[in-house]
Amino acid sequence: MSNGERSFHVQLALDAIRVYICSRRVYKPPPDLPVEMTRKAGCFVSLKKLGQLRGCIGTIEPTQSSVAFEIVHNGINAATRDPRFEPVTQDEIDHLICSVDVLMSPEPVMDVCQLDPVRYGVILESGYKRGLLLPNLEGVDTVDYQIEIARRKACIGPDDVCKMYRFEVKRYY
């Protein structure tokens, strides 16, 4: 991919966001998808504007028939349903920077020494509460901080017992 060229994954997310915001229709991916887009996987779509987070929504496990449809739905949700932000407006679309993280299967972690905040994302579970933090995020450079953020996101107390999982992602820009 040349400098400035968007990945297919990111272009798909941005096309879905534009179509939904401008016409309230759910974008249908093209029929001639690359093979990796036809498998099932969870994914996250992250949006930034002027270097600041503008929306991020995803799925740990697949909820759609393919990665392509997962990206479409999570892109729309990141732009319109992230409870931390007002919905993206039509005027903002051209100013969004998008990334797509396709999740690999989570694996149980028995000890925090198996974590690495650059390489692995983390999932914490305690009862019905579940928190996830993607890997390789700016400012998250220790395992303890990664776990602390995932606990806060899920409202899991610092002393609550929880199961831990790690996962890798393939990140697209």
Co-location of 64 and 124 in the same domain: no
Give me the number of domains the chain comprises: 2
Co-location of 132 and 98 in the same domain: no
CATH of the domain at 27: 3.30.700.20
pTM value? Answer: 0.92
Co-location of 90 and 119 in the same domain: no
Give the model's pLDDT for residue 6: 83
Do the beta carbons of residue 105 and residue 121 sit within 8 Å? no
What sections of 42-115 are H helices per DSSP?
A: 67-80
Co-location of 58 and 136 in the same domain: no
* 125 token code pair: 């579970």
| pLDDT, tens only, 72-87 | 999 999 999 999 999 9
C-alpha distances out from residue 139 to 43, 81, 114, Å: 21, 25, 20
* 153 token code pair: 């996101």
3-state secondary structure of 81: coil
Domain of residue 127: give its range: 107-168
| pLDDT, tens only, 60-75 | 999 999 999 999 999 9
